[in-house]
Amino acid sequence: MKEYKSKIIADEETFFSYTQSVLNGKWKLQIIYVLSKYEVVRYNELRRLLGEITFKMLSNTLKEMEADGLIHREEYPQIPPKVEYSLTEKGRSLWPIIRSMCDWGEKNRVMAAKD
């Protein structure tokens, strides 16, 4: 019986670890938030909306998110180059979770301010 419980815990940790690895990083949740709000965003617009992110950090984060299947990168063959980012279905499926986190933050921030 003990081995069975260990397997369940190991599976849950694996699922949690996967979720954590996909969302790990300072900017990923913020990028998902922005793309959820604006749907399709060009690179420079995304950088402006995020604030103090560097070009390199944004570029690396977007590549990771694309590799994880969270965002779609659409490149248009024109001069100057035009690149747009949007959430994939997998990326959009994270929105309810992020919305719940926002609700939690709103509720608890208000409660903390009263203390």
**Domain of residue 62, residue span:** 9-100
With a threshold of 0.85, does the pTM exceed it? no
Look at residue 101 and give its three-state secondary structure.
helix
**In this structure, is residue 45 part of a structural domain?**
yes
Look at the chain and report how many structural domains it folds into: 1
**In this structure, is residue 91 part of a structural domain?**
yes
**In this structure, is residue 114 part of a structural domain?**
no
Q: What is the CATH number of the domain that holds 52?
A: 1.10.10.10
Please report, in tens digits, the pLDDT of each residue of the chain (115 residues total).
455 555 555 566 678 788 888 888 889 999 999 999 999 999 999 999 999 999 999 999 999 999 999 999 999 989 888 999 999 999 999 999 888 988 988 888 876 666 5
**In this structure, is residue 110 part of a structural domain?**
no
pLDDT for the residue 65:
96
In 3D space, the residue among 40, 34, 15 whose CA is nearest the CA of residue 98 turns out to be 34
Cβ–Cβ < 8 Å for 73, 32? no
What interhelical angle do 28-38 and 43-50 show, nearest 10? Answer: 120
